[in-house]
Structure 1
Amino acid sequence: MNPAALATTAGQPPLVFITGASSGIGQALALQYYQQGWQLALVARRIGQMQDWMAQHAIDPARCQLFAADVSQPDSIIAAGQACLQQLGLPQIVIANAGISHGMDTAERADIAVMQQIFATNVTGMAATFHPFVMPMRQRGSGSLVGIASVAGVRGLPGHGAYSGSKAAVIAYCESLRGDMRGSGVQVTTLLPGYIATPMTAGDRFSLPFLLSAQEFARRARQAIARGDRSRVIPWQMGLVAGLMRVLPDALWDRALADRPRKPRLTDTGTPGGQA
Structure 2
Amino acid sequence: MRPLVFITGASSGIGQALALRYHQAGWRLALVARRVADMQAWLNDQGISAEEARCYGADVSDANSIIDAAKACLAAQGVPTVVIANAGISIGMDTQVREDLEVMQKVMQTNVMGMAATFHPFLEAMKAQAANPTSPQKAGTLVGIASVAGIRGMPGHAAYCASKAAAISYCESLRGELKSQGLRVVTLAPGYIQTPLTQKNKFPMPFLMTADDFASEAFKAIEKGVSFKVIPAPMAWVARILRILPDVFFDRLFKNQPRKHRANH
TM-score, normalising length from structure 1? 0.92
One-letter amino acid of the counterpart of residue 249, structure 1: P
Among 198, 201, 205, the residue aligned to 2:202: 205
Matched with 1:82 is: 71
- Alpha-carbon distance between aligned partners in 2 of 1:136 and 1:47, rounded to the nearest angstrom: 25
Matched with 1:149 is: 146
Matched with 2:249 is: 252
1:126 counterpart = 2:123: no
Matched with 2:25 is: 36
Matches within 5 A, 1:61-210: 61-141=50-130, 142-210=139-207
| CA-CA distance at 1:140 after TM superposition | 1.5
Deviations 1:147-173 (A, max 9, x none): 000000000011111000000000000
- Alpha-carbon distance between aligned partners in 2 of 1:26 and 1:121, rounded to the nearest angstrom: 15
One-letter amino acid of the counterpart of residue 216, structure 1: D
| CA-CA distance at 1:81 after TM superposition | 0.7
Matches within 5 A, 1:212-227: 212-227=209-224
Deviations 1:110-130 (A, max 9, x none): 111111111111000000000
- Alpha-carbon distance between aligned partners in 1 of 2:206 and 2:47, rounded to the nearest angstrom: 33
Matched with 1:55 is: 44
| CA-CA distance at 1:138 after TM superposition | 1.3
Number of residue-to-residue matches in the alignment: 257
| CA-CA distance at 1:53 after TM superposition | 0.9
SS of 2:51's partner is helix
One-letter amino acid of the counterpart of residue 224, structure 1: A
- Alpha-carbon distance between aligned partners in 1 of 2:214 and 2:2, rounded to the nearest angstrom: 23
- Alpha-carbon distance between aligned partners in 2 of 1:48 and 1:139, rounded to the nearest angstrom: 34
- Alpha-carbon distance between aligned partners in 2 of 1:57 and 1:213, rounded to the nearest angstrom: 19
- Alpha-carbon distance between aligned partners in 2 of 1:221 and 1:44, rounded to the nearest angstrom: 20
Note the aligned Cα RMSD (angstroms): 0.7
- Alpha-carbon distance between aligned partners in 2 of 1:261 and 1:98, rounded to the nearest angstrom: 25
**Superposition misfits of 4+ residues, deviation over 2 angstroms:** none
Among 4, 10, 34, the residue aligned to 1:21: 10
Matched with 1:242 is: 239
- Alpha-carbon distance between aligned partners in 2 of 1:209 and 1:74, rounded to the nearest angstrom: 35
SS of 2:83's partner is strand
Deviations 1:11-41 (A, max 9, x none): x211000000011000000000001111000
- Alpha-carbon distance between aligned partners in 2 of 1:87 and 1:144, rounded to the nearest angstrom: 20
SS of 1:182's partner is helix
- Alpha-carbon distance between aligned partners in 2 of 1:114 and 1:58, rounded to the nearest angstrom: 38
SS of 2:215's partner is helix
SS of 1:70's partner is coil
Gaps of 5+ in 2: 131-138
SS of 2:109's partner is helix
Matched with 2:262 is: 265
| CA-CA distance at 1:266 after TM superposition | 0.8
Matched with 2:135 is: none
- Alpha-carbon distance between aligned partners in 2 of 1:180 and 1:135, rounded to the nearest angstrom: 14
- Alpha-carbon distance between aligned partners in 2 of 1:169 and 1:260, rounded to the nearest angstrom: 22
TM-score, normalising length from structure 2? 0.96
Matched with 1:3 is: none
One-letter amino acid of the counterpart of residue 135, structure 1: E
One-letter amino acid of the counterpart of residue 263, structure 1: K
